[in-house]
Structure 1
Amino acid sequence: MKRSIKRIALAIDSLFEHFALIAIVAMVGIVAVQVITRKLFNFVFFWSEEVTLLLMVWFSFMGIAIGFREKLHLAMDSFTNLLPKPVNKIIDKIILIAVFGFGLYLVKNGWDFTVLMNESTLPATKLPNSAMYLVMPITGVMICVYTFLQLIGIETIRHEDLDEEVPKT
């Protein structure tokens, strides 16, 4: 059961991570073209700044979810290292439940804000303004999924070779 859940979650997660990578590559490409055309031809695409901002917002929020997946969020363990392991396990579960609550907050309020902003449009691209905010509930769902997997004991860390020290739980 856990193996099939992990396989499904991994497939969804791969799509999520690839979209985040595509967003940052596109953002870098658009900014590079914008700088080159401005300096060489004194011309800027009217949509470039808006699309760059949109991609930056999406990449940033998706990075938050990936950070929770990789357990890169801030932790102050100088006090908890003094506590016995069973107490630390309880504290870890409480933290995961709080993170799950944060994910639910993003889902609910992000969706409400997305619906609220759907009536207006972005000036350059004429996309609905909600395109900027739709990433909030998506990030919330991903945070909830990652936290749920961690709560039931499925490891979510995919990149073991990061420079950060990540304690194994």
Structure 2
Amino acid sequence: MQTLMKSLEPVTGALARVALWVAGLGLVLMTTIIAAQVFWRYVLGSSIIWSEPSAVMIMGWFIFLGAAVGIKEGYHLSFDVLLYVIPDRGKLLLYSLSDLAVAAFGGGMVWYGWSLAANVADNIIPSLGISGLFDFLPVILGGILVVLFSFERIARRLAGLPTARFGEAVEE
């Protein structure tokens, strides 16, 4: 199992890097769009009609993709008080339970994101001229990545490999 997990690491690492780059570019693009809107409104006395809906849509991308990468890197929120007083094997169990809970949340993102996307697929966002489905794609894709990265962390732990987790002391 260690060999399989080590061979999958470059694939999931590449997925995480792509997601992080897309999230970073989205943050820069959203900031640029909002700055342009402020300039147009207050300097030129006009408005860019597509700025707000496009900025909100882009924000969904960088939030959900960035959150998925945070799961892979072990930066999601946790309640660690108990981890200071239990043995290492107990810590590994609690880390895995935490990853299962996060994976379940990611599954909910996929399930309900898909449901929402299906309900608005026929709606057109007037100022952008695209389907309302695009508003929920980052929820679905982010959820898929959350599930993938959570199960990867559990599988690495089962194989005796370290995971990227603040405070998790597992030697390779």
TM-score normalised by the shorter chain: which range applies? 0.7 to 0.9
Could you tell me the percent identity over the aligned residues? 23
1:63 Cα shift? 2.2
Change (3 A) 1:134 1:155: farther
Partner of 1:50: 53
- TM-score, scaled relative to structure 1: 0.87
Residue equivalent to 2:7: 4
CA shift for structure 1 position 48: 0.8
In the alignment, which residue of structure 1 is the partner of 2:74? 71
Q: Do structure 1's residue 168 and structure 2's residue 171 form an aligned pair?
A: no
Match of 1:111 in 2: 114
Once the two structures are superposed, what CA deviation does each residue of 1:15-45 show, in whole Å capped at 9, x if it has no partner? Answer: 2111111111100111111111222210111
Q: Which amino acid aligns with 2:147?
A: C
Length-normalised TM-score, structure 2: 0.86
| Separation in structure 1 between the aligned mates of residue 73 and residue 27 of structure 2, nearest angstrom | 19
The equivalent position to 2:144 in structure 1, one of 141, 146, 152, is 141
Distance 1:3 1:100, change over 3 A: same
1:21/1:117 CA distance change after superposition, 3 Å: same
Question: Where has structure 1 moved over 3 Å in runs of 4 or more?
Answer: 154-157
Counterpart residue type for residue 99 of structure 1: V
Give the drift of 1:123: 2.0
What's 1:32 paired with?
35
Amino acid at match of 2:128: T
Amino acid at match of 1:20: A
- Match for 1:34: what amino acid? Q
- Report if aligned partners of 2:109, 2:143 keep a CA contact under 8 Å in 1: yes
Counterpart check, 1:59 vs 2:62: yes
87, 90, 112: which one pairs with 1:87? 90
SS in 2 for 1:152: helix
Change (3 A) 1:137 1:6: same
SS of corresponding position for 2:80: coil
Between the aligned partners of 1:145 and 1:155, the Cα distance in structure 2 is 17
Q: Following TM superposition, by how much is the alpha carbon of 1:168 offset from its aligned partner in structure 2, in angstroms?
A: 2.6
1:150-169 maps to which residues of 2 (within 5 A)? 150-153=153-156, 157=164, 166-169=166-169
* Uncovered stretches (5+) of structure 1, i.e. residues with no partner: 158-164
Shift in Å, 1:141:
0.7
The 1:107–1:87 alpha-carbon spacing in structure 2 relative to 1, beyond 3 Å, is: same
